[in-house]
Amino acid sequence: MLVNKRFGKVLKLIFVFIAIGAVYFVVESVRSKNDYTSLSVSQYRDYLKSHIDTGNGDNTNLNKEDRVVDEKLQKFYSSVFQNIIDHSPSGKCRRVYKDACKLTQDVGNRPDDYENWFKLSYNELINCLELDLGEVQTLSSSHASFIDELNKLVLPRDSYKGDGIVMVGGGKFSLMAFLVIKTLRNLGTTLPVEVFIPPNDEGETEFCNKLLPKFNSKCVYISDILPQQMIEKFEFKGYQFKSIAIIASSFENLLLLDADNFPIKPLDNIFEAEPYKTTGLVMWPDFWRRTTQPLYYKIAGRTVDFKTRVRNSIDDLTPPHIYTKNLMNLKDVPFHDLLGTIPDVSTESGQLLINKSKHLGTVLLALYYNVNGPTWYYPIFSQKAAGEGDKETFIAAANFYDLPFYQVKTNVGVDGYHLANGKGYRGVAMLQHDFIQDYSKYMDASKRISQKYAKVGLNYDPKYTVENFYKEYFEDEEINKEVDIMFIHSNLPKFDPYTLWQDEDLIVDGKHIRSFTNLKRLKNYDIELENFKIFNDILCQDDKKPLFKYLEDKMNANDFRHMCQYIGNRLDFLNESHNEAIGNSK
């Protein structure tokens, strides 16, 4: 019953969201009928504004019908943001943790962390971030009233169109987004790309108007979408813009990609593949198990069934009888193994696939969590865990609405190198896997597991471990070949030529070194060499034009010459060591 009611709400929400998209689509269609490459940024924005603010600027290109839709959508659009402003909780989290809180370090998903899993029970997790009764009440009433208001909004359909890739640029991220776009094109992906430019990073004229259009890509200015009032009220940070970009993008189906995240497989088929087709939301795992404060469920009004265990960390296939001694006593079981909770492991949101028609509720509620993230929801979702940010907001929102999703099971990998003098290993990138191959292993596991327990029966098995489940169904290469890497999320150091040059990172005793050392795992895609080729091509040719604002802002001609010397040297090194790097990979 509850689900049906929720589903009804979701349907309403879907209309609401379609409308948001339609505003953008109308603007886009106006824009695409004009040669905006010759406009300056401010002209271009004023031009757009005349359509967004009044809906009756130079509308000669719009037919009557479009104009009606345009006005309705604008109205809807501003209601969404107004609702966020009206129903955001005031104040902010004190970020005080109780002395009894046992979350002193991140809790992983592998055997060396099994002894820490007791820290994930309801009784332990609730003993961490302090939220008093008044705070919980404020959060919960604003959450409820926001959801109610969303349900009242009604909008026209068919606004979001097509499939594409969405990134947030600005500053050094514009250059990094360009590297990603070049990588996509070099490896055969033709999907269009929208790069969102945050309000404080405007002025990317050459990049937006000249460079991107050559690669079936374009900029979208967030200040054209976000009301000024909202920009001033909330001091948005990079990852908060990601959830705005999802809503504002013209695409119905999109891959949201961090600007430092390189897809190394062709992606044109991803929206046609399972499990995307059925779920409309695919996410990727982080290293850590979930540590969300149980009070979140009280705040959101989301029921948790304390009597029903439905999984053991990532294993939601093996029947709970097999790994639970006493199903009547679940008080020491990790809280997020219980029915109704957000599943493990925690999410790494450097990449995410979403169908906005199916998941409009998710998109809008995630926006709410992100707008109120630094003040409240980020610490509530993560409770001290590494990388607090937008990462859990999408899965939490989908879970709230009982909407389907799939999170990749294959553990996140790493690439990196050994530091000189035995100072340890430095990870430079998270490697995320092909969700299509991963899902086919999952389906295969599902079949084999039901066959197995049909034979042996449902008795407690003391030998069961999550690791054995993982090894048997996801790592057994004899049965199923290793899942490909799909994304290289190159967290640190970033592919920013300015910082690399200034910091002399990746130079040891005057010599360049490679930071990616397992190219074979990356299907021999030499990411460092390819990116330095691009730096050399776009920044260091004689006919160089100012392309990236952040570089122009801080460098003179002499600086450029020095940086290009560095780029040339490193490119030579990477070129010369290419064959060896491939051959020596294990």
Ligand X SMILES: *[C@@H]1O[C@H](CO)[C@@H](O)[C@H](O)[C@H]1NC(C)=O
> 18 or 175: whose CB is closer to ligand X?
18
Residue choice 164, 275, 280, 373 for contact with ligand X (CB under 6 A): 280
**Distance of alpha carbon 297 from alpha carbon 384, whole angstroms:** 18
> 12 or 578: whose CB is closer to ligand X?
578
- Which of positions 223-262 make contact with ligand X (CB under 6 A)? 253
Residue choice 271, 297, 470, 495 for contact with ligand X (CB under 6 A): 271
Helices 133-152, 64-86: crossing angle, 10 deg rounding: 170
> Percentage helix, strand, coil, to 5, in the chain?
50, 15, 35
> 222 or 571: whose CB is closer to ligand X?
571
> 182 or 290: whose CB is closer to ligand X?
182
> 357 or 440: whose CB is closer to ligand X?
357
**Distance of alpha carbon 364 from alpha carbon 400, whole angstroms:** 12
**Distance of alpha carbon 66 from alpha carbon 22, whole angstroms:** 10
Q: Are 191 and 165 in contact (CB under 8 A)?
A: yes
- Sign, CA dihedral 203-209-210-213, equals positive
| Eight-class DSSP state of 411 | P
Q: Is 410 in the site for ligand X (CB under 6 A)?
A: no
Smallest distance from ligand X to CB 571, Å = 9
Residue choice 95, 152, 277, 561 for contact with ligand X (CB under 6 A): 277
Q: Is 157 in the site for ligand X (CB under 6 A)?
A: no
Residue choice 269, 446, 499, 575 for contact with ligand X (CB under 6 A): 575
- Which of positions 118-147 make contact with ligand X (CB under 6 A)? none
Q: Which two three-digit tokens encode residue 528?
A: 């460092």
Query: How many residues contact ligand X, by CB under 6 A?
Result: 9
Q: Is 17 in the site for ligand X (CB under 6 A)?
A: no
| Eight-class DSSP state of 464 | -
> 208 or 366: whose CB is closer to ligand X?
366
Q: Is 164 in the site for ligand X (CB under 6 A)?
A: no
Where b means 16+ CB within 10 Å and e means fewer, 9-35 reads: bbebbbbbbbbbbbbbbbbbebbeeee
Give the per-residue contact string, 315-354, with ligand X (x = CB under 6 A; - = no).
----------------------------------------
> 27 or 255: whose CB is closer to ligand X?
255
Q: Which two three-digit tokens encode residue 156?
A: 């026209």
- Which of positions 355-374 make contact with ligand X (CB under 6 A)? 355, 357-358
Smallest distance from ligand X to CB 253, Å = 5
Q: Which two three-digit tokens encode residue 102?
A: 């046992």
Burial class (CB in 10 A: 0-12, 13-18, 19+), 424: exposed
> 279 or 312: whose CB is closer to ligand X?
279
Q: Are 394 and 370 in contact (CB under 8 A)?
A: no
> 21 or 55: whose CB is closer to ligand X?
21
Smallest distance from ligand X to CB 177, Å = 23
Q: Which two three-digit tokens encode residue 21?
A: 């998209």
Q: Are 146 and 182 in contact (CB under 8 A)?
A: no
Q: Is 40 in the site for ligand X (CB under 6 A)?
A: no
Smallest distance from ligand X to CB 277, Å = 5
> 3 or 454: whose CB is closer to ligand X?
3
Q: Is 12 in the site for ligand X (CB under 6 A)?
A: no
- Which of positions 44-103 make contact with ligand X (CB under 6 A)? none
Q: Is 578 in the site for ligand X (CB under 6 A)?
A: yes
DSSP 12-49: HHHHHHHHHHHHHHHHHHHHHTS-GGGS-HHHHHHHHH
Which H helix or E strand runs over 215?
A: none
Q: Is 275 in the site for ligand X (CB under 6 A)?
A: no
Interface contacts to ligand X, rule CB under 6 A:
253, 271, 277, 280, 355, 357-358, 575, 578
